[in-house]
Each structure stands twice: as structure tokens, then as C-alpha cells.
């Protein structure tokens, strides 16, 4: 599992689970989202992107199934 905190803009944290190939993104504005089937190379591209929010909008949201993580 790889984890990054205190990113830019509205992104609070990004966690990538290598074995299960899913990505969790938590936002300052509220909400956490899990993207399934994300390959490690896409995670690496995300982490090296200058504009992470743009990369997520362009390369992750339209391509990978997403579910909102509910915290109870």
C-alpha cells in the first residue's frame, strides 16, 4: 500500500493498494472514493502529474469504476 498526504487543491490523501489494484482518494471538501482496477502505472502517472485533480478528471474518473466510501 502506498499513501500520500497533504496534496494539492481539494485532495487530502491518495492511497493505492498494489495487490488489489485500487485507488482511494479523500477530499478536503468531504468524501472518499475508491477506484477499482487501477494499474500501478496509472497510480505512478497520477503521483508524478503536476495537476493531480486534472489527471484524475481526465484519466481516472472516466475509465475506472468508482464507489463512494461511506464512513459510519
33-46: per-residue pLDDT in tens? 999 999 999 999 99
Question: So where are the chain's domains?
Answer: 2-68
**Do 35 and 68 meet the contact criterion of CB atoms below 8 Å apart?**
no
CA torsion, points 20, 23, 26, 32, in degrees to nearest 10?
A: -60
* pLDDT, tens digit (0-9, with 9 covering 90-100), for 8-36: 789 999 999 999 999 999 999 889 999 99
What would you report as the CA-atom Rg of the chain, rounded to the nearest whole angstrom? 11
Amino acid at each position: 500500500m502506498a499513501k500520500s498526504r497533504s496534496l494539492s487543491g481539494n485532495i487530502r490523501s491518495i492511497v493505492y493498494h498494489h495487490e488489489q489494484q485500487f485507488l482511494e482518494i479523500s477530499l478536503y471538501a468531504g468524501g472518499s472514493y475508491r477506484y477499482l482496477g487501477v494499474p500501478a502505472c496509472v497510480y505512478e502517472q497520477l503521483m508524478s502529474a503536476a495537476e493531480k485533480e486534472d489527471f484524475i478528471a481526465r484519466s481516472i474518473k472516466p475509465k475506472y469504476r468508482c464507489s463512494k466510501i461511506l464512513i459510519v
